[in-house]
Every structure is written in C-alpha cells, then in structure tokens.
Amino acid sequence: MHDLFTFGEVMALFLASDTDSVINAKEFAREVAGAEANVSVGLTRLGLRVKYLSKVGADELGDAVLTSFESEGVDTSLILRSQSFTGILIRNRGTTRPVHVTYVRKESAGSELCAADISEEFISESRWVHVTGISAAISRTGAEAVKKALSLAVKFEKPRSLDLNIRRKLWSEKEAQESLLLLAPLATHIFGGVDEYEVVWGKKEPLKNLESALECGARVAIMTSGDGLIRVLSSDGYMESMPPRISAVDPVGSGDAFVAGTISALIAGLSLENALAQGARCGAGAASKVGDWAGLPYGRAGVINADA
C-alpha cells in the first residue's frame, strides 16, 4: 500500500538565473517542473510513499528528469519512456516582474498519457488519489486518464483531490469550465485559486463558488489567492486563514507545495485546520527558494519536522 497515486507530465525546466527576464537572460538553471511532480516530491519529503506515473522521452532531458526524481527518493518505476520528446518549460523567476512561461510540450511524451496507463491496482493500493486540470488540458487522452483515475477512486472509496490548475496557454476558459465541471463531482477535495473557481462555477462571490463546489459533491473546497486569504468550505462549515508572510524569491510551485502539505497532513490524520496550516507552511517554503522543489520542507509520516 502506498500513500498517494498521482500522474501527469513532468518537464525539464529552464529557469532564467541571471536576470528576471527570459529575453535578457544569458544563464539558465535546469530544474524539473510539473504540478503533479511537485506534489509527489512534496509528499516524499514529508515521509510518505508516492506512486507517480508519467512519460518522458528517450532523450537526455528524460534521463535528467529521472535522475532528479531518484535523488529525491521518488519511486520512478511508473515513469515510462517514449520516442516523443521530454516536455520543456522556460520561464523567469517572477520576483520583480510577472512570470512569463513558454511551453514546448505539444505532442510531447507526457501528452501521450492515456486511460490505458491507469490500472485498477494503482488506485486500489493507494490511500489517496490526486489529479489536476493540467493533465485534462494537455491532450484528449490525458483528460480520459484523469476521468478514469477519479472514477476508479470513487469505485474503491478512496479520498481523491482535484486541483483545478487552469493553464490558459493549454486551453480556453470555456474548455476548462466544460471539462472541470464533469470532473469536479468525482472529487472529495477540490483545490483552486479564486479566479479558477470563478472560471468553473461562474460566480463573482468566492463563497458562492465554494458552495457550488460542495453542491457538486465535494466534501471540502479549498480556495487560495496567492499569498492572500485562504477560504475553505466543508460539511463542518466555513473557515479562513492567512498564510505566513515571507519575502518570495520564486513564487512558482508554491501552490503545489500547499496542496502537498495539506494532503500529507490529512493522510497523517491531522484536522483540516492543522492540515491547511501545514500546507501554508509548505507553500511559503517553496516560494522562499529558487525552483519548484528547493524550499519544500522535510518531515516524517506526513508531518513537517518540528525543527523545520
């Protein structure tokens, strides 16, 4: 039995390192990026066992990605190789100017993920299943894989989370809404930003969108707003909290870290309030360092170390 099953595209990240602009940069650091990959590393660092499914190319970038995962102790047995290329993401840090992202991922190895890759065994032997809207956006087969994973999680009565994670460079808001409205009723926990909830449920008031998420069938709806207010609605009621105040060095990946910290704590048996607090600490840690993984904290059995 493992603690989490998730899947999605993992990409080689080229991060401008000498300036906050890709246009002017002369130096780039090679890292690894991908929402589900970030969540997998986040849970692994907190001492949980993760099964992460992905596809990378039979190329040197694919080798580099696998090496990065292995250095983090992530189980790479479900990372498949493909004759297509490993996806690439190029961006600036986003500290002095808005983050600008360039993707090289159309027809990439990761976009080949499909329903046939999702076995009942992966789901039945997991304590939690996590998916994102990115995998639904990247290809038709990816969307089918997300639906199958959630449907199997329903069948086996597993807690299952959906991070809306709307990437407007991958699909339109209309396409996102249509797809995510079909997936949301299958999830027990929904994560997303204020704007993402608005895209899916169409209301201007954040609380109304949280209510709509619960009406779809979710048990817990969690809404973030960058470094601002966290709003949560569950069957036990409504709560709000503020994440720790930090000086962000690289904000990208902090949302995935928040998801990883929250899910880890819930798997560990912490209350929803304490799980959100741990998620916020993980998100702040990720934002405090350059790269998606560098600031992720360590822990045991899903809980951050006391001295972290």
Question: Catalytic positions, please?
Answer: 256
Angle in degrees, 0-180, between the axes of helices 194-201 and 173-183, rounded to the nearest 10: 80
Please state, in angstroms and rounded to a whole number, the distance separating the CA atoms of residues 22 and 132.
27
SS3 label, residue 169:
coil
Question: CA 56, CA 35: separation in Å to the nearest integer?
Answer: 15
Beta bridge partners of 53: 7
Contact 117, 141 (CB under 8 A): no
Distances (CA, A) of 130 to 58, 142, 203, 224, 263: 26, 14, 26, 18, 9
Phi then psi for residue 65, to 5 deg, are -60, -45
Locate 198 and state its tokens.
């608005």
Question: In Å, how far are 52, 234, 285 from 231, measured between CA atoms?
Answer: 29, 10, 20
Q: What is d(CA 36, CA 123) in angstroms, rounded to the nearest whole number?
A: 16
Residue 248 near residue 227 (C-beta atoms within 8 A)? yes
**CA–CA dist 296, 293 (Å, integer):** 5
Distances (CA, A) of 29 to 24, 55, 105, 301: 14, 22, 19, 32
In a 13 Å sphere around the CA of 100, the CA atoms on its Cβ side amount to: 10
* Residue 11 CB neighbour total at 10 angstroms: 26
